[in-house]
């Protein structure tokens, strides 16, 4: 509850920044499409890293060391390399999506690269520090990393990514500067990937080989979520309080699934549960705990979003509609999150893959897509849109 509470506060603050940036988002065609994927990418990369470190803590192999040969050092190198590579892939796929779905006045590829790679890497440095502090704190103070990693990595990704992206927008708006910086970002991502694959140890290369395909899948899913959000741009710009609600709603659904996925992955590694077709008693108990967290969290999110919108003088559909949309859509999203978390984790285990690497990216990306859909559906049902 503490970790989720911090996530809600942080996400609402980010939503307030998003709602206050409505004019800039309208000027930069396609940028809103990339926002869900860009913010989720940091949580996916560093949430998975935290899950791997959490398993190392549970199994007694974790050491507080940044040496490249250590578990922590290896994960740091892998995560920063993945951040560069996946951000470059996101920029190219975002430009392609803008063209395919006919988004008017879309920004150029070099602008997408500048915002995604440069802004994303700046955010990654800060999220990395948060993830390492969580790992060290878990080892030192006895916190369960499975309970804190997913929501806090998600919160850190939300709070740093959007401001970092908006920070580099002036560079992207200058064509000459965007061409130089965007090209440099693409070259840097390519070099980082090649060096890591050529010079890295086998375990490091394994992390990259297993992580990149699932991150690519997550990006594609998140971009579809971005298209759903982009298509509701007119409504969101008229009632920007919904923009305040949006990041927290998507982050909360993914964080709840991420907590479940991380706990299940640790129990699979330790032999405490079996990868069965139907959830056993321990797995069902974990799912029930997620539902106990979900209801108050979504209501609290709606109330915080309404309060922040009032402080920011942003137009809102009203507290009743905000709470109704968040609670109805959120509980449906939680049902989906528990399903994806359980079967995604089990599928990874059965195919000989690390569920720590696959679980959080899968569940958070699917929940960005399905979360956006459930929120839009809930707003439609209650008559807001």
Express the helix, strand and coil content of the chain in percent, nearest 5 each.
85, 0, 15
Residue 146 token pair:
């499975």
Task: Spell out the domain ranges in the chain.
Answer: 2-381
Non-local CB neighbours of 210 within 8 Å, separated by 6+ positions: 353, 354, 357, 358
* The overall pTM is greater than 0.85: no
Gap between the Cα atoms of 118 and 322, Å rounded: 34
Gap between the Cα atoms of 303 and 81, Å rounded: 38
Ordered per-residue pLDDT tens for the chain, 385 residues: 777 787 778 778 777 777 676 666 666 767 777 877 887 788 788 877 877 887 777 777 777 777 777 788 888 888 889 899 999 999 999 888 888 877 767 788 898 999 999 999 999 998 888 888 888 887 777 777 777 766 677 667 767 887 888 888 888 888 889 899 999 999 999 998 888 888 778 888 888 888 888 888 888 888 887 777 666 666 666 777 777 887 788 778 878 887 888 788 888 877 888 778 888 888 888 889 889 989 899 999 999 888 888 887 877 888 888 889 889 998 998 898 888 888 888 887 787 777 767 766 777 777 777 777 788 888 888 876 6
Please state the three-class secondary structure of 264-302 as a single string. HHHHHHCCCCCCCCCCCHHHHHHHHHHHHHHHHHHHHHH
Gap between the Cα atoms of 30 and 69, Å rounded: 41
Spell out the alpha helix ranges (H) of 312-354. Answer: 319-350
């Amino acid at each position: 509850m503490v970790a989720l509470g911090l996530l809600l506060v942080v996400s609402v603050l980010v939503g307030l920044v998003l709602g206050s940036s409505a004019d800039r988002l309208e000027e930069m065609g396609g940028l809103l499409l990339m926002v869900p994927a860009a913010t989720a990418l940091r949580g996916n990369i560093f949430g998975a890293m935290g899950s791997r470190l959490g398993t190392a803590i549970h199994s007694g192999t974790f050491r507080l060391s940044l040496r490249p040969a250590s578990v922590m050092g290896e994960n740091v190198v892998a995560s920063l390399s993945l951040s560069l590579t996946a951000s470059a892939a996101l920029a190219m796929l975002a430009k392609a999506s803008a063209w395919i779905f006919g988004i008017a006045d879309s920004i150029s590829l070099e602008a997408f690269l500048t915002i995604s790679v440069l802004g994303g890497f700046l955010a990654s440095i800060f999220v990395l520090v948060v993830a390492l502090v969580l790992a060290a704190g878990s080892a030192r103070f006895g916190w369960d990393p499975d309970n804190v990693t997913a929501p806090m990595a998600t919160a850190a990704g939300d709070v740093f990514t959007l401001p970092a992206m908006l920070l580099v927008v002036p560079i992207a708006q200058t064509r000459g500067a965007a061409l130089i910086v965007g090209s440099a970002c693409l070259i840097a991502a390519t070099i980082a990937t090649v060096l890591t694959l050529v010079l890295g140890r086998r375990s490091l290369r394994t992390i990259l080989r297993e992580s990149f395909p699932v991150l690519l899948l997550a990006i594609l899913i998140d971009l579809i979520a971005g298209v759903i959000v982009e298509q509701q741009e007119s409504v969101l710009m008229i009632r920007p309080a919904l923009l305040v609600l949006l990041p927290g709603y998507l982050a909360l659904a993914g964080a709840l699934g991420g907590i479940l996925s991380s706990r299940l992955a640790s129990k699979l590694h330790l032999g405490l549960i079996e990868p069965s077709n139907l959830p056993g008693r321990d797995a069902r108990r974990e799912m029930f705990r997620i539902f106990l967290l979900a209801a108050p969290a979504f209501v609290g999110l709606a109330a915080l979003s309404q309060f922040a919108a009032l402080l920011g003088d942003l137009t809102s559909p009203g507290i009743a509609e905000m709470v109704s949309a968040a609670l109805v859509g959120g509980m449906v999203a939680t049902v989906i999150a528990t399903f994806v978390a359980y079967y995604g984790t089990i599928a990874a285990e059965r195919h000989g893959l690390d569920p720590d690497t696959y679980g959080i990216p899968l569940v958070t990306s699917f929940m960005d897509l399905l979360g956006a859909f459930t929120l839009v559906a809930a707003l439609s049902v209650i008559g807001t849109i």
